[in-house]
Amino acid sequence: MWGLISSKDQRSYKIIEILYNSDEPITINTLANETNSSVRTVKYELDDLRKNLENQQGKIISSPEGITLQLPPYMGIDFFQRKLLASSLGFQLLEIIFFNEQLSNKDIEKMLFISSSSLSRLTNTIKNELGSYGLSLEMNPFRVVGKEKLVRSFYSSYFKERYTINDWPFERVNRDLLSEILSIGFNYYNANPDSTDSFQLLILFAVGITRAFNGYPQKPSISRSTATQNRQFQTYSQYIKEIAVKTKTSPEDLQVYFNELRSWKYLLKLKNLDEQNNPETVEEENYLEIKNLLEMLGYLFELPVRENTYLIVEINSALDFYASFSLQRAGKRYILFKPRDYFLVEEFKNNYPLFYNCVANQFKKICRNREIDASSVAIENLVHQLLSKWEGLTSSLFYKFHPCKILLYSHYHLYHAKNIAEELSSLLGRAITVEIHKEKMITKETLAQYNFDILATTTTILMDIDQPVYFIHRKKLTLNTNTLDELIHSCIQKQKDTYRRNVIKKAEELKIDLSKQ
């Protein structure tokens, strides 16, 4: 929704972003080219930035080599991103009407200090921008309209980008109460909260509860009898009784919280479906479809078994979002800025293409099964959901693609071997494991007890074995690892090739597409 950001603010932010991401000074001419501006305009922007940064203990520094940005150690690029959203009249209007849908044109003009003609231009721009989210804007009174799921998704993304974890713009939603309810839910259903973005979850439900207070309750995904709902509400009320009394929350408001949290509660409980043979609802079928996907990936790429209920819930939530669009225009689930861990997408494309292609192709297949006309951006966003929320995925694949086991033998004594092992580990890093040969004598029989790729020794050993042997020596008191590095690189390449062949073979057996499309 960059159309809601003024050209000046866009240019100013672009300059900050370029300087922030550079380790070297940037010339004014480069900044002018990158921002499609004149050199004079860039100089004016830099002067304004210098003044604005003074209060934040930041500096724009000029030198013969170019311009550099110096920020205090506590400040990141997200500070400027939130400032950009806060300064936009369009986003100010959208936030105001989220909390109050009774405002007229005159009310908005007074609140934003703009004329009727300026408001008309602003609303036209907002309508155009909201269209890509499947939403529209009504006036007199003002409100954002569209499918409730899309309205909630849009505002959840907005508040996540606009505010820090210490902010709370939802006056009618008690943060302490909501946090306690979510914590109880995780504990009650034995779900793992570690992979959860707690702030995002708070924002998600704060938006939903606010919408419910404003007359837009969420329709329950699972139909339950009145008696069952009453019983569930009583159980829920008992668990949160202490915090409800402390926060002075009325029974009526507690009911709204309960109604909004009910679907989430049910989703946490979905892991119990592992014991069922015949899913009874669409939600259950969707859950099992993603569960089967994760299990297939685990088998194919030899990944450790994890409890992935919340990951499954997140992926299904994203798929539900894309299913809400009737046209192939659904894509990003953010407002201006991608999540900061979005770099994982490019990392996996470049470093683990087999895994990335497999996941992307499977999501395309799932979208076809669910009749979702997903764009390439939507598929990429789905892959990001999986990459960013699968516990230990990056490290697991790294060790699969970069394994090397060194067996260390010292002809002196065990402590000597341990010292060298620690030194080797600190020097080599990466996915190198060093195991010590514990027997005093080294023979083919003793070596047969170990699983290793390289044998490193403190004495010359003439032995006919499959693995390369490396003699450990020092140069100027430091272990010389140049030759060892070459052996490790060769070993890793062989391991990679073997691992890839195994993955491809299993994929062919399962008729799974690993090609880039």
pLDDT at 274: 45
The whole-chain average pLDDT of the chain stands at 88
Assess if residue 505 is contained within a domain.
no
Residues 366 and 409 in one domain: no
Residues 93 and 107 in one domain: yes
Assess if residue 516 is contained within a domain.
no
pLDDT at 428: 81
- What tokens appear for 294 in the block? 């994760």
pLDDT at 272: 47
- pTM equals 0.82
pLDDT at 271: 46
Residues 70 and 121 in one domain: no
Residues 290 and 254 in one domain: no
Assess if residue 510 is contained within a domain.
no
Assess if residue 371 is contained within a domain.
yes
CA 210 to centroid of chain Cα atoms: 25
Residues 254 and 339 in one domain: no
pLDDT at 22: 94
What mean pLDDT do residues 372-391 have? 89
Assess if residue 320 is contained within a domain.
yes
4 against 426, higher pLDDT: 4
Q: Picking from 94-98, 158-162, 179-183, 228-232, which range would have the lowest pLDDT averaged per residue?
A: 228-232
Residue 141 preceded by cis peptide, ω within 30: yes
Residue range(s) defining the domain that contains residue 340: 276-398
Assess if residue 502 is contained within a domain.
no
Cα–Cα distances in Å, from 515 out to 47, 298, 349, 360?
Answer: 51, 18, 12, 10
pLDDT at 314: 84
What mean pLDDT do residues 183-188 have? 75
Residues 93 and 42 in one domain: no
Residues 423 and 465 in one domain: yes
Residues 266 and 287 in one domain: no
Which pLDDT band holds residue 294 (cuts at 50, 70, 90)? very high
Assess if residue 503 is contained within a domain.
no
The domain boundary, picked from 103, 127, 146, lies at: 146
Which pLDDT band holds residue 309 (cuts at 50, 70, 90)? confident
Residues 102 and 140 in one domain: yes
**466, 438 in Cβ contact below 8 A?**
no
- For residues 342 and 381, what is the distance between their CA atoms, to the nearest angstrom? 9
- For residues 331 and 321, what is the distance between their CA atoms, to the nearest angstrom? 10
With a cut of 50, say whether residue 19 has pLDDT above it.
yes
Closest Cα to residue 97, out of 133, 128, 123? 123
With a cut of 70, say whether residue 369 has pLDDT above it.
yes
- What tokens appear for 432 in the block? 């190198």
Question: How many domains does one find in the chain?
Answer: 5
* DSSP assigned state of 469: E
